[in-house]
Structure 1
């Protein structure tokens, strides 16, 4: 990912920047500014939310292939020992829906495909076989943590079939609350479209697929400031392929009528992004 900030410009030419762009614009992109805090928080919500869907898809695919009769098949597909994760299905057959599926990651911490550590339970209600258009599932959490962030979620995923590019796609509506280890909170409501771009040579294993994401969200950052977000239609977010970070794409965040454009780079798997506001660009680290 290209760095959008010349360190020497800030270190040696601060006074010149104040004349050219105004000190206020510099302050808007300081590490504690509402714009940059909202940018970091939105990145975290997006990464965690997509990873939860990815994790749910992995086990639901395994369960579906076994007619929902054997949770061990879902674990075997993912290369997980039965003592690490417990999966239960209230109606273990391929006929009766809706079904409630509980994925229990335990309390000691389980490391997933994208190197995130999970604790607690995902409780998933599925309305039909997920290969059926308009079938959906809803994810709720119970004492669920991702990398020591407590995650409260009500997330509904609807399979819409294939789009005009012959790619499968899903709509997602989510209400997220993330409580960080320091007890600050991020809240977010989002509406997104998730399109699968590549299966990366493993059609039976969804965990390494690549997706694009478009949509909008509104929320409150860890400073208690409200924000809104719109993903660039021409530069959707690119996630997946076992990378725990957003790899590419652009979005615009608005806080108190001020805007910042976030650019996640060229597709490299790293935790860097750039924020641009008022002609000033700053590189920052995302988290998940």
Structure 2
């Protein structure tokens, strides 16, 4: 008996047409997404900007730990009094090794220790500097070991040139750092370069909440996607330790000859910033991926 193959071919044609339509839709969707990404991320995307800002916070917190420890020694030595800062939490273990000329300090945050500002850290921070606290400058060598910051693994080192009194009469630290961050999903980013932190308020009071810094400098950031950005402070960034965020100042971010500027605001303590694109358009964004 001869079989009628027409229904079979009709069904195959329908399936092939459906597959072709799905492919076209998928291609159009991918193309649209790619075009949107290329347009929106001509310099840096809002998502990557949050990760970039997170690395800034990590680097800033590491520098704060180092300079707070050094300042305690400096004030105690030069003021000839027993000075203690309240910035380090009770959960950290501090180990000191002295040589004839140097002091080596290890901060052990164990498997998890909450800082005064709410950030959670773990692992070790190794510090080394000369014992001559009367000197106009001193250099703090910093190395990390098994260090974690809010669940992000951080490796690397920093060399901080500490000036007792700059041209404004304030303590100042210039950090030349090179760090790599690895997020829980395995993605990595690196950040290196120089940042200067001028301690403009609160030095020597013993209360961490009134400390204020102005930050300047230029760094290179290689994103999780492998894109390289140059980030330069054009208006000093104001960091008030009572706030977890930069409260004011402007940071320029450049890539492939294009530049966006990030304005951190008018001094209000929040996670918001205003991003200005090369064409002059602006967008308000949140600068912390883990909070709104």
The TM-score normalised by the length of structure 1 is: 0.77
Cα deviation per residue 1:195-242 (whole Å; 9 max; x = unaligned)?
111118x6234564100011101120111111111110xx21111332
- Number of residue equivalences: 250
Please list every run of 5 or more consecutive structure 1 residues that lacks an aligned counterpart in the other structure: 1-23, 68-72
Q: Are 1:185 and 2:188 matched, yes or no? A: yes
8 Å CA contact 1:38, 1:227 repeated in 2: no
Report the counterpart of residue 216 of structure 1 in structure 2.
218
RMSD: 2.8
The residue that corresponds to 1:161 in the other structure is: 164
Distance 1:44 1:224, change over 3 A: same
Q: Please, which of 61, 83, 87 is the counterpart of residue 51 of structure 1?
A: 61
Matched, 1:261 2:261: yes
Alpha-carbon distance in 1 for matches of 2:208, 2:143:
21
Deviations along 1:46-77, one digit per CA (max 9) or x if unpaired, are 2111111212333344455667xxxxx86x84
Asked if the contact 2:231–2:254 (Cα under 8 Å) also holds between the matched residues in 1, the reply is yes
Where in structure 2 are the equivalents of 1:6-85 lying within 5 Å? 28-29=39-40, 34-63=44-73, 77-78=86-87, 80-81=89-90, 84-85=91-92
TM-score if structure 2 supplies the norm length?
0.76
Change over 3 Å in CA distance of 1:78–1:171 after alignment to 2: closer
| 86, 103, 110: which one aligns with 2:93 | 86
- Does the residue aligned with 1:244 lie in a helix, a strand or coil? coil
C-alpha spacing 1:144/1:207, structure 2 compared with 1 (3 Å): farther
Q: Which runs of 5+ in 2 are unaligned?
A: 1-34, 78-82
* Structure showing greater relative contact order (alpha-carbon pairs closer than 8 Å, 6 or more residues apart): 1
The 1-side partners of 2:123 and 2:200 are apart by 30
